[in-house]
Structure 1
Amino acid sequence: MYNIRYGLNYLRHRLGANNRHGIHSPFVYKLIDTVIYDYHDQKVYREIKEIAQKKHSDRRVINTLPLKFYRLLYRFTVYFNPQTILLADTEDYITEFVIKQANPEVQSISLAAHGIRPADMILADALKQGPANYLTEIMSSVHDDTVIIFTNIHRNVSAKKSWEQLKLNQQVRVTIDLYFIGLVFFKPGMSKEDFRVRY
């Protein structure tokens, strides 16, 4: 699943990225300290792994993503407690399983309905939805506290280029690059910053 170039780029990312001690934004520091770097084991992690073992030949990877992404997605959903989530890929049953385990009351919004209701969290694959263009498409569903999670932002040149273009959008206040995913925040009043975080 992981080619050599992708692996080498990941090593370069780790060398140039910060941990929580290199972050001066209180919002981002807290997110890293209490969510991203929370390594406590939870029952749902074992359930996710069992699903992966049944459905995927490479037990470390689901749909090109490492298993740790789904553990992290569970923690993000608990932390942000979204009431509505826009899923760009409605066939990703593992993502839906993780979200429902974290918040059984959450309501998923189809892509067709995104212009009608705001979304607290939006998930999209940068390989399928270029981040810059997709952001323009779904801005009507974004509010001040929306978080967008793009997966595979460094998977190929096109996805990476689109991620870089997204960061130039003036409505985007903060981005966090964890290499295999990128987070986007719109909170007014925050300094416009882009973080690369070691994970």
Structure 2
Amino acid sequence: MYSPVQLGFKYLRYYITASNGKGHGVHSPFVFSFITQVLNDQRQFYAYSQLEALRKDLLSDHREITLEDFGAGSRIKKDNVRKLSSIAATSLKPAKFSQLLFRIADHFKPSVILELGTSLGITTSYLASANPAARITTMEGASAVAAVAKNNFSKLGLGNIRVVEGNFDHTLAETLTTIPLIDLAFLDGNHRYEPTVRYFRQILPHLQEHSIVILDDIHWSAEMEQAWDEVRGMEEVTLSIDLFFIGIVFFRKEQKEKQHFSIRF
């Protein structure tokens, strides 16, 4: 993984070179609409306050759990025994990006959502709250973490979430047989090149023209940057958007030629 200093320099380069985030000079009507209607939507949706209250509770929850880590590990600690507050502080997607996931799900109305990497369930809850009619399958390697997430879903009254526990290497293939078509996928489960690309290739046959795939932490390490470059370069991907901390790819067939955008967010 990159050091904080390295990541800071990379972010500065992104900020200087990326489009200004207002849509000026963007010659794709679809991307302009995405910027103005989704990225820059300043509305405070009904679910935000409830879910951020849950985040606050988790950040102050000092209970300890023992977990298995099948991903690239934490930037801060690698101990098997962790406080929930520590997991919340280092693993949860910030409100800015969690709420963007909500707006994406609210805007595009995906019926079937797959998430790799439940963690404590904050992003899952945002996705589930955006469209209560959607079916969300979320996958988590650490059973103790999954148990906390399931309890959080119950507290929030979210009944449209299915949790699959276990190492993705063993559970993803079988899970995909139960969801033949995926409208939205959020890949946040293993921050290494080979597994990230492999998981993407596994879900690729289950995507369609209007599917959306979001990859987390695309500049977290050289491996993740390599994975992001490979994914957005695949023939099936017609459009990609780099928001530095996440990358979004689309498969829209009406896109006449492949396009890539870096946008400040």
Offset of 1:92 from its aligned partner?
4.6
Which range moves more in the overlay, 124-133 or 87-96? Answer: 124-133
Aligned residue identity for 1:12: R
Structure 1 residue 192 and structure 2 residue 195: aligned? no
* Cα deviations by residue, 1:92-139 (Å, 9 ceiling, x for unpaired): 511221112111111124633324511000110261675433221111
Structure 1 residue 50 and structure 2 residue 115: aligned? no
Other structure's SS at 1:104 match: coil
Q: 1:7 to 1:102 in 2, by over 3 A?
A: same
> In structure 2, what is the equivalent of residue 120 of structure 1?
183
* Cα deviations by residue, 1:73-100 (Å, 9 ceiling, x for unpaired): 1100100101001111244511221112
> For residues 81-160 of structure 1, what are the structure 2 equivalents within 5 Å?
81-109=109-137, 111=172, 112-116=174-178, 117-125=180-188, 127=191, 130-160=195-225
The TM-score, its normalising length taken from structure 2, stands at 0.68
> In structure 1, what is the equivalent of residue 31 of structure 2?
28
Which range moves more in the overlay, 116-125 or 42-51? Answer: 42-51
Q: Is the 8 A contact 2:105 2:127 kept in 1?
A: yes
> In structure 2, what is the equivalent of residue 38 of structure 1?
41
> For residues 9-20 of structure 1, what are the structure 2 equivalents within 5 Å?
9-18=10-19, 19=21, 20=23
Q: Distance in 1 between matches of 2:176 and 2:90?
A: 26
Q: Is the 8 A contact 2:181 2:207 kept in 1?
A: yes
Q: Distance in 1 between matches of 2:90 and 2:55?
A: 6
Q: Is the 8 A contact 2:213 2:250 kept in 1?
A: yes
Q: Is the 8 A contact 1:52 1:62 kept in 2?
A: no
Q: Distance in 2 between matches of 1:4 and 1:115?
A: 43
Q: Is the 8 A contact 1:86 1:123 kept in 2?
A: yes
Q: 1:34 to 1:143 in 2, by over 3 A?
A: same
Q: 1:161 to 1:74 in 2, by over 3 A?
A: same
Aligned residue identity for 1:39: Q
Q: Percent identity?
A: 28
The TM-score, its normalising length taken from structure 1, stands at 0.89
> In structure 2, what is the equivalent of residue 165 of structure 1?
230
Q: 1:147 to 1:48 in 2, by over 3 A?
A: same
Other structure's SS at 1:194 match: strand
Which range moves more in the overlay, 129-138 or 30-39? Answer: 129-138
Aligned residue identity for 1:182: G
Structure 2, unaligned runs of 5 or more: 60-84, 138-163, 165-171
Other structure's SS at 2:213 match: strand
Structure 1, unaligned runs of 5 or more: none
Q: Is the 8 A contact 2:216 2:245 kept in 1?
A: yes
Other structure's SS at 2:202 match: helix
Offset of 1:72 from its aligned partner?
0.5
Offset of 1:173 from its aligned partner?
0.2
Aligned residue identity for 2:231: L
Q: Distance in 2 between matches of 1:178 and 1:128?
A: 19
